[in-house]
Amino acid sequence: MPLKSFLNTFAGNPLDRASDRRVDPAWIAAKLAARDSRALAVWNGRPLLEPGPDGPQVAYLPAGMAEELSGGPERLLFLGLWKDAAIFAVDLEGTADPTEGPLAGMGAFEDLRGAALTLSPHEAAIAATAKQMFEWRRRHRHCAGCGEPSEVADGGWKRKCPACETEHFPRTDPVVIMLAVHQDRCMLGRQEAWRAGLFSALAGFLEPGESIEEACARELFEEAALEAVSVRYHSTQPWPWPSSLMIGLIAEVANDQAAPDQTELAEVRWFTKAQARALIAGTLAGTSIPGPMAIAHQLLKSWSQED
């Protein structure tokens, strides 16, 4: 039975990661050579897309073509199985747009943030997974233990140091993002650098040694001098800029005496559920929130629809 959960943009990757089989280089090689294997091309973090019947879609290449373009396993990633067909990704770098060279006529490389809501949720999640994995590879080419160049393993899901044999795994950085609520109102904040009128939920990185609830309480206190009395989980969102996992929370706070710290937060404002629904609809004059791709939007929307 499929997992039932709230799906934010970039969650819901439908591929079978086949983590038990991707450790076998011979199996990966056979899948790369198989006629039905496909590959997503990513150029400097941008997925290759093409027009489809219902809007843009991933322009999959034959896997063999991706292998040729990759120049070797270092820039190839086994993403998973779609039914029996293997899906790979190839990481293309450099200043020359490959659609003006070897990929001419095969689509265009598009910014994932801009394309995320027009892609199908499945394809947005697949592209985000590839982007996050390639960001990790780009930043972690050397062994953190001894400094030697590390080598790709497990279809791209691990790196191994040939000198000291340390294994390195892709990182995910947890971020708590929370809607503070008190009685029948919720609080949103704005940072000085944001465009005028834009408000969002407070957020911050989880630190080592903290539980999710503790990180939420600390951030609310540090940024807005608010005391959390209870924290409930809403949903999570993989966020591939470069490797975050947004953990969406709704936090009941002791009072509404918020004091923005003036460092991270310049201003806070409290909204009723009716105002929150107007923010979602984009009809609250002079005030706006991030779009539906953002988990902050989904947190506010869910809370505004609660009884």
Q: Is 163 in the site for Zn ion (CB under 5 A)?
A: yes
Q: Is 164 in the site for Zn ion (CB under 5 A)?
A: yes
Beta pairing class for 185-190 and 244-253: unpaired
Given candidates 52, 102, 121, 145, which one binds Zn ion under the rule CB under 5 A?
A: 145
Task: Provide the mask over 115-144, with x wherever binding to Zn ion is found by CB under 5 A and - wherever it is not.
Answer: ----------------------------x-
* Minimum gap (Å) between residue 91 Cβ and Zn ion: 22
- Pick 17 or 140: Cβ nearer Zn ion: 140
Q: Which range binds Zn ion by CB under 5 A, 154-162, 238-246, 254-262, 265-273?
A: 154-162
Beta pairing class for 228-239 and 185-190: unpaired
Given candidates 29, 146, 254, 281, which one binds Zn ion under the rule CB under 5 A?
A: 146
- Distance, in Å, from the CA atom of 291 to the CA atom of 85, rounded to the nearest integer, reads 34
- Pick 110 or 154: Cβ nearer Zn ion: 154
* Minimum gap (Å) between residue 114 Cβ and Zn ion: 39
Helix 63-70 and helix 25-33, axial crossing angle in degrees, nearest 10: 120
Q: Is 168 in the site for Zn ion (CB under 5 A)?
A: no
DSSP category for residue 304: H
| Three-class SS of 101-162 | CCCCCCCEECCHHHHCCCCCHHHHHHHHHHHHHHHHHHHCCECCCCCCECEEEHHHCEEECC
Is the alpha carbon torsion for 128, 138, 60, 19 positive or negative? negative
Given candidates 32, 87, 161, 247, which one binds Zn ion under the rule CB under 5 A?
A: 161
Q: Kindly state the tokens that stand for 159.
A: 């790196």
Task: Provide the mask over 80-99, with x wherever binding to Zn ion is found by CB under 5 A and - wherever it is not.
Answer: --------------------
Q: Is the peptide bond before 149 cis (omega within 30 degrees of 0)?
A: no
Q: Shortest CA distance to 256 belongs to which of 271, 278, 266?
A: 271
* Minimum gap (Å) between residue 142 Cβ and Zn ion: 8
* Minimum gap (Å) between residue 143 Cβ and Zn ion: 3
Q: Is 159 in the site for Zn ion (CB under 5 A)?
A: no
- Pick 62 or 170: Cβ nearer Zn ion: 170
Applying CB under 5 A, the residues found at the interface with Zn ion are 143, 145-146, 148, 161, 163-164, 166
